[in-house]
Structures are given as C-alpha cells and as structure tokens.
A and B are shown apart, each in its own frame.
Chain A
Amino acid sequence: MSWIRERLLPALAVALAAGLLASAPGCHEPLQAPEAAAHPDDLTPRRGGVLHLATIDDIRSLDPAAVLGGTEAQLDPLIYAGLVDIAADGSLAPDLAESWDVSADGLVYRFVLRRGARFHDDSEVTAADVKRSLERALHPSTPDPYASFYESLAGYADYVAGKAPHLAGVEITGPYEVTFRLDHPDATFPKLLALLPARLVCPGAGERYDESFVACGAGPFKMTPGGWERGRQLTLVRHEGYFRPGLPYLDGMNMIFSMPALTQRFKLESGALDVVSELSGPDATGFRADARWASSRAVEPFRQVWGEAMNVETPPFDNVEVRRAVAAALDREQWAKLKPGLLRPTGQLLPPTIEGFRADLPGQVYDPAAARAHMVKAGLAGGWPKPIPYLIVKQDINELTAQLLAEELAPLGLHLDIRLASYPTFMARTHARGHAAISHQGWQQDYPDASDFFEPLFSRAAISDTDSNNMSFFVDDRLETLMTRAHREISPEVRRALYDEAGSIVVDRAPWAFAFDVSSLRVWQPYVRGLRSHAQYQYPIATVWLDRDPREGKLALGFGREERAGFGLTSGSGSAR
C-alpha cells in the first residue's frame, strides 16, 4: 500500500493537475457576445470616447526621421501630417498641401500649403517647416532607414555626404509654397512625400535629429505629457487645432504594447480593448465561425508577398530550369490551408492592392509534371546530389511551409536541409552574398507602388555583398530597363504596361517562387463605427467614432478603467454629438 501512497498518489495528482491546467486557459471556451452599438441605425458620427487598442509589438521611436517600420510606422501618421497622404484606396490625396503641380519634364514639383494649419504646439505650418523637417530627416547624422528613397532630389548626394549645409532641391518659394527640384524624373516622388521622413515636425524639434525629441506634429492626434511609456503604452489625445474641421471624432486613443494574442482576446471580450487584429489561429477561427461577430470582423490584407527566394549565383539555382521547377512544384492551394481564409495563393509578385497587379496573369502555377520536365531540361533528372541548406526563422507558420516545401521538392531530387535561425541571424545570412541558396522570404510595401516591390527585390542597384535586398541576386537587362523606365515614367498607363512586362519576366525567370500573400482578421466591438480598410494604414482611426451607451459600457478590471479616467472620462465613451 505504501507505494500507492508515495508514488501513485503524487503521480495521479500531477496528471490531474496537468489535465486541469491544459484545459483551463480558455482554449475551448465559447466567445462572449459582442456589445451592440447604442444607435446602430444612426450613421451620424459622434464625438468623444477613447479607443483602446493593443499589439504584441513594441515601438522604438515616434520620431518620423528614425522610424523603423512596423507598428511605429502605423502610429506615426496619427501624429504627423505631410504635404500629401495615401488615401484608403492607395491613391495620392492632399494633406497639408492644398494643391500641387508638376512641370512637363517631371523635374519640378510645386506645392501650395493650406493656410492656418497648426502644429500641436499651436505654431502655424509654413513652407519653411517642410524644408526643415525633410533636411532634419535626411541629415547624415540621422539614423533614417529611408533616406536614400529621396536620392532623386537635386543636391541629395552632397547633403547626405555632409558637403552641403542644405538640400539644394528643396526651395521655399513663398511662405506657403515649396518647390522640389529633381535630378531626374521620378514617378514615385509624390508618394515619397507621404512617407514618414517627409512628414512635418514642430519647430521645437529643431533642425537636427535628437533622441530626446518628444513627438509633435500636425496630425489628428497629439501626445500627452508622458503619453508614451516605452514597452507599455502610448496615449494620444485629439489635436483640437487639426486642419480638417470636426476630425478626429475620438477624444483619444490608447495603444498597449507587448500584449500576447490570448490576452488581447480576453480584453476584447471584457471590453478593455475595442479592436484586435493579432488573434491566434484558434481564436481567429472561433471569431470567424461565430455569427454574432459577423458584422464586426474583416479580413485585412497586409500588402505583402511571400515566397522562396532562390540565389541565382548558387548552384543548383543558377540554372533557370531548376528555379522554374521549384516554382512549378509549389502546391499553393495546399499552403493556403495552413491559415484558412488568411493566406491567398499567388504566383506573381504584386499583391492585388497594388496598381500593376494583373488578375489575368497566370503567374507561376502548380504543375508537378512540368516541374519534372524542367529538371530534365536542367540536366538534373536524377536530382541534385547534395542536401540544400534552407534557413528559416522559427515564427508563425514558417516551419510548416518549410516542411511542405521539402516534401514537394523531394520528388524532384531537391532535398532541403531545414535549419532554424534567430531573426537577426536569418537577416544577416540571407542579405549577404553566398550564404543562402534558398530561403523563405516576404516583402511588405513601404508605400503602395509597384516599384517598391520590383526594384528592391530584383534590381541591380539593390545588390550588395552584405546588405542585399535583392536576395536572389537576380539581374536581367530587360527587366532593368523596364524598371528604370517605369520609375521615371509619369504616365500611369505607360507605367502599368511596363510593369506588366516586368511581372511576366520575374514569373518566367523565377528568381522567386511566389507562394502567397497574407491577411489578418480584425475584430472589433460593434460600437466602434467608421473603421474602414486602408491601403497603407492599419489604424485609420481619424474618422472612427464610438457609439456606446455609457450606462452599458462594460468595465474591465485592471487599467482600462484608470486609463479612461486619465482622459477625464467615465466608463465607456462620451456620446455627445
């Protein structure tokens, strides 16, 4: 009997506890019902309330001159306005600029600013601020990862080399008029003015980048004192002097950082968060299957493409037939099942949201027989004799796609040796020459333009021994000509035709085997109104309003309540029109 007491009972206790624990954290728990809008039939926006958001990411900087990308690039447009902005459909829209014109040769852009627009510190926005802000971002001492995007500006090279005190290509031609002169025509230039380095910062930011800078711009929201607690949260409040009358509707927004996906789900259900878009796979499936959430969920495209980058300098991928074989061996429909409804199989470079995407382009298609034929043409009917190292980062579905790829290439005699790496190691290896024969890669747009996909991934200029964005080291003279012409071509129709041909070349020459583009599921409480999909921004909240009855607003225990109190509000949102 003693062994029962001393061995069996503790073992049973462990088994029981493990069973309880494994089933405890909400894995199979039904979702709570959403909180209905107070006035669902009334489309008139209401002012007031604080929108509560969260992300698993953290941000490093809110200075538009030194923004890395990711979440911070999504938040900065709430704080900073530019001359122009990207509209919801991806087109260019006026922002601080009232109007602009371009010379016939495409070398001179003249912008006229709105009068009376004000920064968060109440100073007026003038043409001098445009020049100062851009020079501050592009100065050689500023760690701006996007500086070279503006190389077409006259005098750029001398300025970033420290040989000139000012950017010669930016001229203040009036208190509210600024003129840009380019060295060569650049069709992307107007869109570049919507990017963060060209966003205007308050005069208090000075002329040079300084890490102690406190975010201050002319966007719809402004920082409160101590509003950004690094690693924890960001609090923004309405900029009452925003140049678009009546906007934003919200009193403010609160973004919590480093919050795991499961916690986000819990907080959405409890009312502590209003919108989430980083749900785990099972939770995303749960929300998609729940009819009560049908009208307050949407699939949001990430505007990125994923595929297998093959290094054309490394055997066996120096043989175009082997690359074509890989492109034909990918069963993209099978891959898409890894995240049902959130992965869209694709055989071409551009995602559907980018102008230049061709729905009629067959692209690379799954055809196992053709794949074998390509291997025969390559003289490798028996396959490649050695295992091929395949580096992946252990995150998301990478390990699963790696296994699928290995299974699909094995019948061709291409055997992958899958190796896991940390993200920094992966980045260092795959961006350097001669280190990776094939790797799983993704590319997300910096701005919605075909050039932002073609040029970094497949141009000669993007090749470098240590920092190559052209990770397949692919060069094609015809493609090079097409990309250069399209970059300088002002006519949208001509550009489209040029990128059509460019798209066909990368599909045929297969430096990448394109696989899928990705979306996320965004879920919000129904009282969040006016939330729309946007071609560039994940948080287009300037036109969002809250339609929530304060008496019914659920309170989450924790700091949602205190944060609301920090805005001088009671629970839920203020709903005064």
Chain B
Amino acid sequence: MIRRLVRRLGSALLVLWAVATLTFVIADLLPSDPARMIAGPTARAADVARIRAQIGADRPLAVRYGLYLRHLVHVTEPAAAAAANKTEHADCASFGPLHLDLGHSYTQRKPVVAVLADRAPRSLLLAVGAVTVQLFVGLLAGLLAAFRPRSWLDRTTIAATVVGTSVPTYLIGLTLQYALGHRLHLLPLDGFGRTDGEHLVSLILPALTLGIFGAAYYARLVRDDLLAAMRQDFVRTARAKGASRLRTLLHHALRTTLVPVLTVVGLELGALVGGAVVVETLFRWPGIGALAVSSLLDHDGPLILGITLTTSACIVMSNLVVDAMYVLLDPRMRRAS
C-alpha cells in the first residue's frame, strides 16, 4: 500500500510540473503585455518600457522559465537566507530550509504566496460549507427517495434534482440573495465581514447556493446507487435474515454507496478550494475563485500560475486522500493492495 501511495505521489508531482510548464508557456503566448496592464491604458511608451524592464518581462521566455523553475522550490539554510540580500527571498514562503516562491503579482503588488495564503483559507471555508450542505441535503434526499421508490416522495425528489442540476449557480445565488438578503433582510447580501461570527453569517448564502446546486447531484447519485445496491445478494440475504428495510438501507446498502459519493466529494472539495468562480464573484467572497477572475482579466501571469498550481495541487491531493480512503472503506481494495 505504501508503494502504491508513493507511486501516486510521484505521478502527482509530474502532473504539477506539467501544469506549471503548460500554464507558463500559455500565459506567455497570449497576446498581452503585463507592463501595459500595470501601467494602464493611457501610459506613454517610455513609462511602459521602464515598467517592463522593472518586472523582467523584457527577458527571453527561456530565461524567465528557467528562473521560475529554479525559484519555485528551493532549499536555503535559514542562516544563509538571512545573510542573503533581503529582496532575494522576499517572495518566498519558507517551511524550514524549504522555500516556495511563486513570484510576485503585478496587480496585487505582493508575493503570490502571500496573496494565496490570504485567500486559500476563505475558499477552504466556503468549500467545506458548500460540501457540508451538499452532503447533508443530498444524502438525506437520496435516502428518502430510495426508501420508498416510485412514491410521491421519490418523484418529488427526482423533480427537485432536475431543477437543481438545470438551474445555473448564478441564478440560484441571485434568487437567494434577493429573497433572503434584499426582501427578508435575514442575511447580508454579500461580503465577508470582519469577525468570526460575521464570516459564518456571510458564508450561509454562498454555501447554500453551491450546496443546492451540488446536493441535487448527490441525491440522484445516492438514490440510484442505493436502489441498485438493494437488489444485490448481500442485501437480499440481510432481508431474508429479518433485517428491516430501513436497517438494510442504512447498514448494508449505504456503505457501498459511500464509495462513489466519496470520489465525488474528493473531486468537488478539491475543485471548490481552487475557487468557485461565479459564486465568489457574485457574493464578493474573497477567495481564490474571485481572484482567478481578476488575474485572468488582468493577465497577471505569476498570479495565474500560482492559482493554477494551487488548484491542481488541491485536486491532486484530494485524489490521493480519496485513494487512501477507498482502502479504508472497501475491503476488496485492501486485498488488492
């Protein structure tokens, strides 16, 4: 099992390197000029040229890529780092002697690692909130529907899931914002607040928006998988031995259903930590998603690279965790390992 995890870790690193390289090249190939984006539309050619030289954008692509990779992850003894020129490690996040340098954001005017360190916890909070809503509502609805298939409850659940998966998140968000924020004054329209309590209150609308959208999918998934599992031999055996329908549903069928649910949760959580672009923008949630929009619009290369790498790392990591969880949940996987 350890060997399998190490192999997965190696391939994960390869994926991250490929993502970094591809993003670097694509960001450079785009017909845009970071110096012009810093200087603004009315700046004169002389000022744009001076800024281009300041950020090093006048160097060849290969030189910039080489410098980027060299700086990305490097090892420096703390004493040596302190002795070195202060600016040399100004953009680094240090983990002991290990330094991570994602560059300097032109538009945010601070190190990319600092920008991401500021934003990532907020996206994580939103992701956890959204997935919690998705799981709670989705599992509950799926269980209820599967408990009495073809009943009015089941049909209502199916109809609700069709609606939930058909309506785009921005429309769900706008409706919740209008109803709960503007009309009923129950929740703030948007923002993040200042205190922990305000953060939690602010979280409700965006988490509900993402939650309603995702819950519909989970409900469908759980219902269909449960109904399939209920036709399996081991469930019929349990029923034959006198277990009630509810007990077989919860104790026997649900366990097998959790494996695909876990896969989706892992991928969803990874993607959401990487930023829920529309919802974060709509609710002015200061996470990575809203940042991704502005960095793309501004063609802020280092920030685009940093966000892409962070998102990829989140998805890769969540895949690794899901792989490990499979082994814990499914005895067949343990035997295979």
Contacts and interface: CB of A to CB of B under 8 A. Distances in A.
Interface of A: 5-6, 9-11, 13-14, 17-18, 20-22, 24-26, 58, 60-61, 66, 68-70, 140-141, 143-149, 160, 211, 230-232, 256, 258-260, 262-263, 266-267, 270, 422-425, 427-429, 431, 443-444, 446, 456, 462, 464, 466-469, 556-559, 562, 566
A21 B175 contact: yes
Contact of B108 (A9, A21, A60, A427): A60
Contact of A69 (B42, B55, B291, B299): B42
Given A9-B159, A21-B167, A466 B182 contact: no
B83 to A, nearest CB: 22
Contacts of A559: 188, 191, 193-194, 198
A10 B40 CA distance: 51
Given A10-B162, A14-B162, A260-B282, A231 B290 contact: yes
A51 B160 CA distance: 44
Contacts of A61: 109
A467 B32 contact: no
Given A446-B42, A558-B187, A559-B188, 7 more contacts: A21-B167, A26-B182, A69-B42, A148-B47, A259-B190, A467-B36, A557-B186
Contacts of A6: 155, 158
B299 to A, nearest CB: 4
B245 interface: no
Nearest to B39: A145
Which of B30, B36, B185 has the most C-beta atoms of chain A within 10 angstroms of its own C-beta? B36
Interface of B: 30-33, 35-51, 54-55, 107-110, 155, 158-160, 162-163, 166-167, 171-172, 174-175, 177-179, 181-182, 185-195, 198, 281-282, 284, 286, 290-291, 294, 296-299
A427 B37 CA distance: 8
12 contacts: A60-B109, A68-B40, A145-B38, A262-B174, A266-B189, A428-B36, A446-B42, A456-B44, A467-B33, A467-B45, A556-B185, A558-B188
B205 to A, nearest CB: 11
Nearest to B171: A21
Contacts of A266: 181-182, 189
Given A13-B159, A60-B107, A422-B297, A427 B174 contact: no
A10 B165 CA distance: 12
B33 A10 contact: no
Contacts of A232: 191-192, 284, 286
Contacts, number: 183
A466 B159 CA distance: 57
A424 B178 contact: no
A17 B163 CA distance: 7
B123 to A, nearest CB: 13
A258 B194 CA distance: 17
A562 B202 CA distance: 13
Contacts of A464: 45
Contacts of A566: 194
Nearest to A141: B54
A429 B166 contact: no
Nearest to A267: B189
Contacts of A18: 166-167
A143 B43 contact: no
B54 A256 contact: no
Contacts of B172: 21
B189 A263 contact: yes
Nearest to B184: A557
Instruction: Report, nearest first, the 3 A-B pairs whose CB atoms are least far apart.
Output: A558-B188, A424-B32, A464-B45
Contact of B31 (A10, A425, A456, A468): A425
Contacts of B193: 559, 562
B109 A467 contact: no
Contact of B33 (A66, A258, A466, A557): A466
Contacts of B159: 9-10, 13
Contacts of A456: 42, 44
Contacts of B31: 424-425, 428-429
B42 A444 contact: yes
Contacts of A17: 163, 167
A267 B190 CA distance: 10
Contacts of A231: 286, 290-291, 294
A264 B198 CA distance: 20
B42 A25 contact: no
A148 B45 CA distance: 9
B186 to A, nearest CB: 7
Nearest to A231: B286
Contacts of B189: 263, 266-267, 558
Nearest to B162: A10
B171 to A, nearest CB: 5
Given A147-B47, A467-B45, A25 B174 contact: yes
Nearest to A16: B163
Contacts of A68: 38-40
Contacts of B54: 141, 143
A525 B191 CA distance: 22
Contacts of B155: 5-6, 9
Contacts of A462: 44-45
A93 to B, nearest CB: 23
B198 A562 contact: yes
Given A60-B109, A424-B33, A562-B198, A13 B160 contact: yes
B32 A422 contact: yes
A160 B35 CA distance: 18
B136 to A, nearest CB: 21
A566 B42 CA distance: 38
B30 A425 contact: yes
Nearest to A144: B47
A262 B177 CA distance: 11
Contacts of B46: 147-148
A523 to B, nearest CB: 17
Contacts of B166: 14, 18
B298 A143 contact: no
A258 B284 contact: yes
A424 B192 CA distance: 29
A143 B188 contact: no
Nearest to B286: A231
A5 B149 CA distance: 13
A143 B38 contact: yes
A283 B47 CA distance: 39
A14 B188 contact: no
Nearest to A452: B42
B57 to A, nearest CB: 11
Contacts of A258: 281, 284, 290
Contacts of B110: 211
A143 B42 contact: no
B185 to A, nearest CB: 5
B51 A143 contact: yes
A207 to B, nearest CB: 17
Nearest to A151: B46
Q: Which of A140, A256, A557, A566 has the most CB of B within 10 A?
A: A557
A232 B37 CA distance: 21
B157 to A, nearest CB: 10
Nearest to B44: A148
A189 to B, nearest CB: 16
A160 B46 CA distance: 11
A5 B192 CA distance: 43
A263 B181 CA distance: 10
B153 to A, nearest CB: 13
Nearest to A233: B191
Contacts of A466: 33, 45
Nearest to A262: B174
